[in-house]
Structure 1
Amino acid sequence: MEHLVSIIVPVYKVEKYIDRCIQSLINQTYKQLEIILVDDGSPDNCGKIADNYAAKDSRIKAFHKKNGGLSDARNYGAQYVTGKFTLFVDSDDWLEDNMVEKLVAYSLKYEADVVQSAFYYAHDDYLLYDNRYYAKDEPPVILNNYELMTELVINERVKNFAWGKLYKTSLIEDIPFEKGVLFEDVFWAHKVMERAERYVILHEPLCYYYQRDDSIVAAYTPRNLDIIKGLKERHAFIESRYPDLINESYRLILKTHLEHYLLLFLNRQKDPGGVHRKEIQNYITKKHDCFNKSIVKDNVLKMELQMFIIHPYFYIGLLGLYKLFRQLKLTPSPAELERIN
């Protein structure tokens, strides 16, 4: 007998993409599904589209609520979950037809609390696959709890994303997403992963993470700084439960602060008076010793921190030099993801 899998799909202003997403769920080779569509007060026709699908397929349930954001919609959908497993799918993404079947099979085979699928970064006319760490045909990787938390903090092989992973429902049912923030997964993932005793990573890309055309610079707002808030909150968690990972946590916090200082600099009109840039500068200065200790083996990040401490504009100038050297082929370019046209 197949175990029921609950799929939660928050829906908001995705009229252009929602059919592709829902069809990929309906077409799953694994049929024991409970598809929970949460219309988060979408002003377009998404609510009607959800209702139409629910009327045609008994596995689909459509709910409607006032707009409260992605976290609120996920939390709302979670109260209707009855499956042994839960999967989160964003409504502009889509799945391979056999994704659920494979994730369930590996969860049962390895008695895993969470199974993570590889994915494609899906652009309108091409795909990107991250082959820097694993090849598509490599065998699964099984992590214990400490290995999992290490990889989560490093944020390379195990991402903070809630989507793309099959969870035992019992693992997550009492851990809600934090409402009113961007990057809500950063606030949530470590609380879940702390409970996971066995975590499986599959390298075959089974889902498509849709990339909109908006550039990160043009779309940037100070609300994006929520990720820093989330990383600091997680750092306090790491300090109390995984002290061996403190330096790795500091390293990611430093990288994220530097990245957002640059984005704020490029969007100076969105940071009147440089308020947010000053906050970042003050924090990096205050935590200078901690950051130095955390990056002793990372010469590039050490140089960036040194330049930033002298003055943030020295750091920005250093990034400009990196770019120039790469263009002149004096230094190698960062490894690129595999492109599939």
Structure 2
Amino acid sequence: MDKVSMVIPIYKVEKYIHRCVKSVLGQTYTNLEVILVNDGSPDQCGKIADEYQKKDPRVKVIHKENGGLSDARNAGMKLVTGDYTLFVDSDDWLDTNMVKVLVNYMLKYKADAVQAAFFYAHDDHLLYDNRYYAEDDPPILFNRNSLMKELVINEKVKNFAWGKLFKTSMINDLPFKKGVLFEDVFWTHLVMDRIQRYVMIHQPLYYYYQREDSIVSSYSPKNLDIIKGLKERHEFIEKKYSDLKLESYKLLLKTSIIHYWLLMMNNSKDKDKYFRKMIHGDVKLNYSHFFEAVKEDKDLRYQLFLFSIHPNVNMLYVLLKKAAEKYIKRTKQLQLKKIDL
């Protein structure tokens, strides 16, 4: 059996850590190396990690000063000795068979990485994205170019580092960028650029926990790191995958508009409108590129035009459009499959 290394950064997750680690140690695939990285957590997480290390020889523990998720993952990677590596966030958990299933697909297709489907896990229900595939659909095999296209579109292949089993040789010299949020956006395309065979399966094996106090839920201007990451990735795309640059511009535009409204809804975080002016100015500066990217998308083309005039005009358009659609019932809202707990 090939060894699988699992890197789990830990910070302020005392409430969730047992659920996560037990799901890892309880895997039906047993040749594991579990690396718990205590990133200077002020609660009892470090002590809990040490207790798991005493109980199970597969567990290694690192204690370090707080440096953020990227720094913790990088520290964990220095101890990795497995043939494959899987990243797990410490408030999430795994299906008992996840590692076994991913390794089997890795071997069957001689792949460099395998991506599992996942649940958005809430306290009282799960959500499964069945817009593109059903759970029992056959796996999809991507080569490097088709993989990069799907990554840029960001619908089927996600930017997340977690939920994917990588050949360790593909990632062990690619550290995560320190000091940023959405660190995966800065990292994933560099990995995908190396991959020749990538398998995507549709069986949900990873539980992505949605908690109110997560980074995603508590917005601040620091969240604009995602735009910074997309810009950095766009430069990479223009140089190596120029046929995808319009898709890249399209996602950058949509993300910029979304974060403008998030800043507006959190007005106290941007009182002088510095960040909103920056986004608006950037869209106007790159108007011609964005227009070329969305000229076949009627709705986004309108949004771009109105947003460049004034963001509030675009907001009015979006609100009126949604109200009209709801009133005349011309569209069906895409909903994820819900499973009550």
Give the deviation of 1:300 after TM superposition: 1.3
Q: 1:213, CA displacement in angstroms?
A: 2.6
Label 1:267 to 1:30 Cα distance change in 2 as closer, same or farther (>3 A): same
TM norm structure 1: 0.98
- CA–CA separation in structure 2 for the residues paired with 1:289 and 1:25: 49
Q: Residue 131 of structure 1 aligns with which residue?
A: 130
Structure 1: distance between partners of 2:320 and 2:153: 26
* Counterpart amino acid of residue 9 in structure 2: P
Per-residue CA deviations over 1:305-329 (Å, capped at 9, x if unaligned) read 1111221101111222133234425
Q: Deviations over 1:42-66 (max 9, x none)?
A: 0000000000001000001111000
1:55-91 CA-partner distances (Å, limit 9, x unpaired): 0000011110000000000000000000000000000
C-alpha deviation, 1:14, in angstroms? 0.3
Distance across 1 between alignment mates of 2:34 and 2:302: 49
Distance, in Å, in 2 between the alignment partners of 1:68 and 1:214 is 19
Which residue of structure 1 aligns with residue 253 of structure 2? 254
1:12 — aligned with what? 11
Query: Residue 334 of structure 1: CA displacement?
Result: 3.2
What are structure 1's unaligned runs of at least 5 residues?
none
Q: Tell me if the contact between 1:326 and 1:333 (Cα under 8 Å) persists in the aligned partners.
A: no
- RMSD, aligned CA: 1.3
In structure 2, the partner of 1:299 is 298
**1: distance between equivalents of 2:160 and 2:217?**
23
Q: 1:217 to 1:173 in 2, by over 3 A?
A: closer
1:107–1:215 CA distance, 2 compared to 1 (3 A)? closer
Matched, 1:111 2:110: yes
Q: Which moved more, 1:189-198 or 1:319-328?
A: 319-328
Distance (whole Å) between structure 2 residues aligned to residue 132 and residue 311 of structure 1: 33
Q: What amino acid is aligned across from residue 90 of structure 2 in structure 1?
A: S
For residue 215 of structure 1, report the CA deviation from its aligned partner: 8.9
Tell me the amino acid that sits aligned with residue 251 of structure 2: L
Once the two structures are aligned, what percentage of the paired residues are identical? 58
Q: What is the CA–CA distance in structure 1 between the aligned matches of 2:77 and 2:214, rounded to whole Å?
A: 32
The Cα offsets for residues 178-237 of structure 1, whole Å up to 9 and x where unpaired, read as 000000000000000000000000000001000013598962100000000000000000
Distance (Å, rounded) in 1 between the aligned partners of 2:216 and 2:208: 19
SS at match of 1:204: strand
Q: Spell out the pairing of 1:1-341 with structure 2 (5 A cutoff).
A: 2-214=1-213, 219-341=218-340
Structure 2 segments unaligned to the other structure (5+ residues): none
Amino acid at match of 2:202: H
> Contact between 1:217 and 1:263, CA under 8 Å: does it hold in 2?
no
Farther-moved stretch of structure 1 (74-83 vs 264-273)? 264-273
**Deviation of the 1:330 alpha carbon:** 3.6
The number of aligned residues is 340
In structure 2, distance between residues paired with 1:176 and 1:60? 22
Counterpart contact for 1:69–1:179, Cα < 8 Å: yes
- Distance (whole Å) between structure 2 residues aligned to residue 216 and residue 31 of structure 1: 32
